[in-house]
Each structure stands twice: as C-alpha cells, then as structure tokens.
C-alpha cells in the first residue's frame, strides 16, 4: 500500500458520530467515516468476545467497500488495540480464484490486513473455492467451522461477527436473487452457481449468517442507495438476499454513508420515519449479554 493512501485520523472523524436514523441503521458523513466507525466497532466487539469466550471469530467479505476498513485495522492506532493471537478469521464467501489473485477475498484481506498484524497463520481459515472439487472443498470448510466455532441451539456455528456488504441487486455474501441456496436450511457452506459471472462460488448459508452474535453490513456510494432503500422498506417476492439477514438472536447493524442513505434520508425528511422497517431487522441481544 502506498503510504499516501493510508487512512489518517483527523479531528472531524473523532468527534462526529454516526446518526442512528432507524433501529440498527447508522448513517455516517462519508465512506471514510464508515470505515473508521467499522474499525472502532471491530475493536470493541473483539474485546467483548475475548473477555467471554477467549477468542474472537469473525467472517470477512470482499469487494471494494471493506478495503479502507481493513487498512485502518492494520494501522498502529487500531492494530495495537486488538489481541490478534486470539482472533480467528474466516470468510463469508469466496470466488473460484487462486489466493494470490486480485479477485480473491482472502487475497484482499491478506494484502491489506493479515500480513500487517501479528495474527498466527493457524488462526486464518480461508475458503478453498478455487479447487476443482469445490463441493468437497465446501464440506472441508464445514469441518473447519466445526473444529473452531461454538454452535447455537440449532447446531449452527455461531460467529461473533460477520461482516457483509450489499450489492446493487440486493445480494450479500455470494447469495444472489433467485438462487436455490437461499432456501438452504441444513448446510453450512454452499457452492451456488452465479450465472452473471458464469461460475460457482463458495458461501456461508443464510442459517449460518443469521446465527451470528453480530452482523455488520457496510454500504457506501450512491449506486447502493436504491438497493439499501429497497432492502429496508420494500416487501419483495421473493425477498432480496440482504433482506433475509435478520440475526434474530443477535444484533444487525447497517453502517452506511449519506450517499447510500440518500433515499432513506429523503423519506425520513418527508414522513418522519421509514415506511416499513421490519420490526425484527435489528434484534438485539438480551440485556446483560456482553456480546
């Protein structure tokens, strides 16, 4: 990374908190502030999980939105605040490319974060979606989850945190509209075919994502405004994949910038509230839960 590209702390980013314009929906001034708030939450939630479970299991996503967030975590300010030997990193989804590829979600996290912090190699659990036997690779990743993550009452692995994005078509992780994978109720890891890219991907399934203690959805840019507005206010049939991320026994937080929230802010300005924000979209932990 070019030193000139490294995020720097400024007074404005210290004193301006995000606005919670609806339950679980935090709006920041810009994309950089989204990244800084995400880094702060990562540090806070890591310490909370480690205090209770002696480890912090987080699943990352790829794309452009989390790049600045990952870079911030690698800076001295944030790097020093995380007990990295107790952090275990997994992935929400992965493309069928080698780990050194520019398109690899693992490769992105490795370049921007993992080689810059003192996390043990044994704590990094990548998806091997490039394997020819991708179905077997998915089963192997389920075994990795069984060996490293505690399960909820239904038997699904329960991450302390999953970090997700939002596509312009309403997809999240590698769960796209119309896929059979959206109806999966028992598998932990799926390998859906994505027609728009002409290949299979590997992804955690909805039951696993929804079993998390916390889900953090990062959304930036005006091109995401329609998708975010639809996600939170429209009843689509079938539902958009992102609408199915409910985290019923945990906490879902959507962190976005003003560009992505433009339609939502306009609706709130006109009507005083969102027309139809589902009541369970930000289900919170029971009082007293440190997670």
Would you tell me how many other CB atoms lie within 10 Å of the CB of residue 89? 20
Question: What domain range is 202 assigned to?
Answer: 18-258
Q: Is the pLDDT of residue 289 over 80?
A: no
Count the Cβ atoms, other than its own, within 10 Å of residue 8: 10
pLDDT band at 13 (very low <50, low <70, confident <90, very high): very low
Q: Is residue 120 part of a domain?
A: yes
Q: How many domains does the chain have?
A: 1
- Altogether, the residues listed in the chain come to a count of 291
78 assigned to some structural domain: yes
Is 1 inside a domain boundary? no
Q: Is residue 4 part of a domain?
A: no
Q: Looking at residue 88, which CATH number applies to its domain?
A: 3.40.50.1360
pLDDT at 185: 87
In a domain, 2, yes or no: no
Digit-coded pLDDT (tens) for 162-220? 999 999 999 999 999 988 878 888 999 999 988 777 789 999 999 999 999 999 999 99
Indicate the range of 87-96, 110-119, 248-257, 262-271 predicted with least confidence.
262-271
Residues with Cβ within 8 Å of residue 188, at least 6 apart in sequence: 141, 142, 145, 156, 157, 204, 205, 207, 208
The arithmetic mean of pLDDT across residues 3-15, rounded, is 43
Query: Per residue, what are the HEC states of 215-276?
Result: EEEEECCHHHHHHHHHHHHCCCCCCCHHHHCCCCCCEEEEEEECCCCHHHHHHHHHHCCCCC
**pLDDT reading at 156 higher than 70:** yes
> How much is the mean pLDDT over the chain?
89
Q: Given this model, what pLDDT does residue 266 score?
A: 94
Write the CB contacts of 249 (distance below 8 Å, at least 6 apart in sequence): 152, 211, 283, 285
Please tell me the distance from the alpha carbon of residue 260 to that of residue 172, in angstroms, as a whole number. Answer: 16
């Amino acid at each position: 990374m070019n030193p000139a590209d490294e995020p720097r702390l400024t007074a404005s980013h210290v004193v301006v908190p995000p606005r919670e314009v609806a339950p679980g929906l935090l709006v920041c001034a810009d994309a950089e502030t989204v990244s800084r708030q995400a880094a702060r939450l990562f540090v806070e939630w890591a310490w909370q999980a480690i205090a209770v479970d002696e480890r912090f299991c987080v699943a990352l996503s790829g794309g452009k939105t989390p790049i600045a967030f990952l870079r911030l975590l690698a800076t001295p300010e944030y790097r020093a605040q995380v007990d990295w030997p107790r952090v275990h990193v997994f992935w929400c989804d992965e493309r069928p490319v080698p780990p050194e590829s520019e398109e690899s979600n693992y490769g992105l996290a490795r370049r921007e974060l993992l080689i810059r912090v003192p996390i043990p190699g044994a704590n990094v659990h990548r998806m091997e979606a490039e394997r020819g036997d991708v179905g077997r690779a998915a089963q192997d990743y389920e075994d990795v989850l069984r060996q490293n993550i505690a399960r909820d009452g239904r038997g699904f692995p329960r991450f302390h945190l999953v970090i997700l994005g939002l596509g312009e078509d309403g997809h999240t992780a590698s769960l796209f509209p119309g896929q059979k994978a959206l109806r999966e109720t028992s598998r932990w890891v799926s390998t859906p075919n994505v027609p728009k890219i002409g290949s299979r991907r590997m992804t955690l399934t909805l039951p696993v994502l929804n079993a998390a203690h916390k889900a953090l959805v990062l959304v930036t840019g005006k091109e995401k405004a329609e998708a975010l507005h639809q996600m939170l206010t429209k009843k689509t049939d079938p539902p958009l994949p992102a609408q199915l991320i409910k985290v019923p026994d945990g906490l879902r937080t959507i962190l976005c910038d003003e560009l992505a929230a433009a339609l939502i802010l306009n609706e709130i300005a006109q009507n005083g509230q969102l027309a139809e924000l589902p009541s369970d979209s930000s289900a919170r932990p029971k009082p007293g839960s440190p997670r």
